[in-house]
A and B are shown apart, each in its own frame.
Chain A
Amino acid sequence: MTKAVGPEAGGEYIEIYGVRWSRWAAKLSAQVDIIISLIIVLAVTAAFHLHFMLLAGDWDFWVDWKDREYWVTLTPIVAITFPAALQYVLWEKFRLPIGATLAITGLMVGAWIARFFGFHLWSYFPFSLVWPALMIPGALVLDCVLLLTGNFFITAVIGGMGFAVLFYPSNWPMLAAYRLPVEVMGSLVSVGDYIGYAFTRTATPEYLRFIERGTLRTFGGHSAWVSSAFAGFVCVLTYLLWWHIGMLLSRVTTLPNRWRHLFGYPRERPPQTASPAVPRDAS
């Protein structure tokens, strides 16, 4: 995609993606790209992490909140938002199908850093209690579907469903060990329940867990799949909404600046707020 062109330009011009660039500008743009990519990673990690922790964080923080009903339903719905918006920007403006992977990986790395420094080092929680959930496989699928179809609607339907449905199975290899049954004080609990019980959260008691407290019908114990299917449906809608939020927020809109004379520009005429009923020169 990059090649030097014609001796007529003295070798100072190259072609990138079929566009003629002078070599100095290409070099400059490569450095600008690096800086801006880092800005995107930092800003998206910050905003997405804030969004995620305040909407679905509790389920992500604690192994004894990772239930089959709310965790499985809420996490994908809350997590598909920024990937959709970032996919809009990166695909529509740059044809880069990496928005979802970038957002989700940023979120997960941000979460691991916070779990280590906050939950583990500051508040003494062991990692067995506070490991973050995995969402990368769903994000990869979302990006690959966009790459292959180039269509946001198909991405919403197939990718969105995939994002939600892959969530539970991609976490099960880690979670299963915490769902082994154990007898404690004559009661049956899971290992995860006991970990949450043993490592005290002073201000977050057991009853505060917003978890499945007994389903009406578990369909042979497959309630996680029911939750996944529902999450998939909402993910499709959430994706469509957030794709458009991405569109809205990445639109370059400008407004007149009424103070522009302070920078050496001519004063702007005051905006006409109402048109006179009778033209002035009518008389």
Chain B
Amino acid sequence: MTKPEPAALFTTQDWSPRAFISWRGLLLGLAGVFSLMLAYRSYQQVFGWSAGLDATDPAFDTYWMNLLKGELVVLTASWAGLWSYLWFTRDRALSQLAPREEIRRYLNLIFFIFVYAFAVYWTGSFFAEQDAAWHQTVVRDTPFTPSHIVLFYGTMPLFVLFGVGSLLYAMTRLPKFAERLSLPLIIAVAGPFLILPNLGFNEWGHAFWLMEEYFSAPLHWGFVVLGWSVLALGGLLVQILQHLLDAIRRAELQAGGLDDSLADPQPAAGP
């Protein structure tokens, strides 16, 4: 079998990173999440003290309960929208996927996970610690406080959107994730997702047996254990990189590249 010259194959197709990476989607996703977070935080600054201290106040209904209702509607709709879009537009002939396209899709998956991680950062770090700042400062009189309405019902459903979204993206568009389910990916998505139902435990504890706010209270530990599941991204990272290396190799071979790329250099041929 004759191979095209390596130099030739690079002139017929675009092999620059641009051909595989579409930054626009990522930047849009990050900018969208960031603007939403900025809006949430500003809203809290403005209406937290002025309308958020007394759950029986009509202003609380106007500014906080309405925000909660809005969030629940919009986020549930976005779940349904994004997830069903990913499902119904799935690739039904994954076994015939070209390696170059596969690389592109791996990059998209990585971007999806990037936006997921970004949303998880706002939830797990920024708004979560701010929750302490609020609840250790004011008298809690409802499960739906200005901090919770943003943290639990705003940012958490948002990362669930991208988490489940990335799982669906991988399963519907990438052969290796469709053929066999990736346990690290499932753990990295399902663990943080379960933080949402774990709220029941949190509120139960605050309603019945914890009248004072300290953050290291055992009733918060459900969040901790579920948070550990984010570490499964480590396994997913290794998996994605291995698949990506494999796809790169196949793309190159298909285009007529050297057999020994991504391998030890061939020992010099003996006499």
List residues of chain A with CB under 8 Å of any chain B CB.
5, 9-10, 12-13, 15, 18-22, 24-25, 27-29, 31-32, 35-36, 38-40, 42-47, 49-51, 53-59, 61, 82, 85-86, 88-89, 93, 110-111, 113-115, 117-119, 121-123, 125, 201-205, 208, 210, 245-246, 249-257, 260, 262-265
- A15 contacts B180, CB within 8 Å? no
Mask: chain B, 41-52; 1 = CB below 8 Å from A; 0 = not: 100110010000
Q: Which residues of B contact A28 (CB under 8 A)?
A: 17, 20-21, 103, 248
Q: Could you name 22 residue pairs across A and B whose Cβ atoms are closer than 8 Å?
A: A5-B265, A27-B16, A46-B227, A47-B227, A47-B230, A54-B223, A88-B234, A89-B238, A114-B125, A114-B130, A117-B41, A117-B126, A118-B129, A118-B130, A202-B139, A205-B212, A210-B216, A252-B238, A254-B180, A263-B93, A263-B171, A264-B95
Q: Known: A20-B265, A21-B261, A264-B95. Contact between A61 and B132, CB under 8 A?
A: yes
A203-B212 CB under 8 A given contacts A250-B234, A250-B238: yes
Residue of B nearest to A57 (CB): B215
Residues of chain B lying within 8 A (CB to CB) of residue A205:
212
Count chain B residues whose beta carbon lies closer than 8 angstroms to a beta carbon of A.
94
Q: Does B224 contact A (CB under 8 A)?
A: yes
- In the bound complex, CA of A122 to CA of B52 (Å): 13
A24 adjacent to B264 (CB under 8 Å): no
- Residues of A contacting B103 with CB < 8 Å? 28
Q: Which of B222-250 contact A (CB under 8 A)?
A: 223-224, 227-235, 237-239, 241-242, 244, 248
**Known: A118-B132, A203-B212, A250-B234. Is A25-B125 also a contact (CB below 8 A)?**
no
B190 to chain A, nearest CB (A): 13
Tell me the minimal C-beta distance from A2 to chain B in angstroms: 14
- Is A255 touching B183 in the complex (CB atoms < 8 A)? yes
Q: Which one of B110, B171, B212 contacts A35 once the chains associate, using CB atoms below 8 Å?
A: B110
* B243: min CB distance to chain A, Å: 10
Chain B residues with Cβ under 8 A from A58's Cβ? 132, 214-216
Asked whether, in the complex, the Cβ of A35 is within 8 Å of the Cβ of B125, the reply is no
Question: Are A54 and B258 closer than 8 Å at their CB atoms?
Answer: no
Give the shortest distance, in Å, between B13 (CB) and chain A (any CB). 10
Q: How far is it, in angstroms, between the C-alpha of A82 and the C-alpha of B229 when the chains are bound? A: 11
Docked CA distance A131–B223 (Å): 24
Does B61 sit at the interface, judged by CB under 8 A?
no
Q: Contacting B121 at CB < 8 Å: which of A31, A43, A51, A111?
A: A43
For residue A46, which residues in chain B have a CB less than 8 angstroms away from its CB?
117, 120-125, 227, 230
Number of A-B residue pairs at CB separation under 8 A: 278
Give the distance in Å from the alpha carbon of A62 to the alpha carbon of B262 in the complex: 52
Asked if B105 lies at the interface with its beta carbon under 8 angstroms from chain A, I say no
Asked if A61 and B215 sit within 8 Å, CB to CB, the answer is: yes
Q: Tell me which of B48, B110, B114, B224 has the highest count of chain A C-beta atoms within 10 A of its own C-beta.
A: B224
Say yes or no: A12 contacts B7, CB within 8 Å: yes
User: How far apart are the CA atoms of A47 and B265 in the complex, in Å?
Assistant: 41
Scoring A117, A249, A250 by chain B CB atoms within 10 A of each residue's CB, the highest score goes to A249
B25 touches A (CB below 8 Å): no
Cross-interface CB contact of A203 among B6, B124, B136, cutoff 8 Å? B136
B94 CB–A CB distance under 8 Å: yes
Contact among A18, A117, A263 with B172 in the assembled complex (CB-CB below 8 Å)? A263
Name B133's closest neighbour in chain A (CB-CB).
A118
Cβ-neighbour of A39 out of B110, B123, B258 (below 8 A): B110
Measured in the bound complex, the distance between the Cα atoms of B199 and A239 in whole Å is 30
A29–B247 Cα distance when bound, in Å, is 12
